[in-house]
Amino acid sequence: MADAQAEDTRIDWEGTLVQRARAGDKRAFERLYREYAGRVYGLCLRMTRDPQMAEDCTQDTFINAWRALGKFETRSSLATWLHRIAVNVSLAKRRKSGPVEPLPEEEGAATKWTLETPIEVHEIESAIGALPDGARDALVLHALYGYSHGEAAQMLGIAEGTCKAQLHRARNLLRERLGVEVS
Partner 1 sequence: MTSPPDNDARKVTSLRELPQSLEPPHDLWPRIEAQLTDIPDAAAGRATPARAGAMRARWLAVAAMLACVATGVWIGRSFLPGAPGSTAGPVSANNQVVPDLRTTAFDAAYVSDPRYAQQRAALVRTLQAKLAALPPPARAKVEASLATIEKAKADLEQALGRDPSNALLQELLVNTYQDEMRVLSDVHEASDPGRGI
- Residues ≥6 apart with Cβ < 8 Å to 78: 14, 18, 32, 36, 72
CA 16 to chain centre: 25
Q: Which is nearer to partner 1, 1 or 102 (CB)?
A: 102
- The distance of closest approach from Cβ of residue 183 to partner 1 in the complex, given in angstroms and rounded to an integer, is 10
With binding defined as CB under 8 A, does residue 88 bind partner 1? Answer: no
- Residues ≥6 apart with Cβ < 8 Å to 134: 100, 101, 102, 103, 158, 166, 169
- The distance of closest approach from Cβ of residue 146 to partner 1 in the complex, given in angstroms and rounded to an integer, is 7
Q: Which is nearer to partner 1, 30 or 105 (CB)?
A: 30
CA Rg, the chain, in Å?
18
Q: Which is nearer to partner 1, 53 or 165 (CB)?
A: 53
Considering only CA atoms, which of 166, 83, 90 is closest in space to residue 128?
Answer: 166
Helices within 49-112 (DSSP H only):
51-68, 78-97
Interface residue with partner 1 among 11, 105, 124, 132 (CB under 8 A) is 124
With binding defined as CB under 8 A, does residue 115 bind partner 1? Answer: yes
CA 56 to chain centre: 16
List the x/- string, 43-82, binding to partner 1 by CB under 8 A.
x-xx--xxx--xx--xx--xx--xx-xxx-x---------
With binding defined as CB under 8 A, does residue 15 bind partner 1? Answer: no
Length of the chain, please? Answer: 183
SS3 182: strand
Interface residue with partner 1 among 10, 16, 150, 172 (CB under 8 A) is 150
Chain residues that interact with partner 1, rule: CB under 8 A:
21-24, 26, 29-30, 33-34, 37-39, 41-43, 45-46, 49-51, 54-55, 58-59, 62-63, 66-67, 69-71, 73, 112-115, 117-122, 124-126, 128-129, 139, 143-146, 150, 154, 182
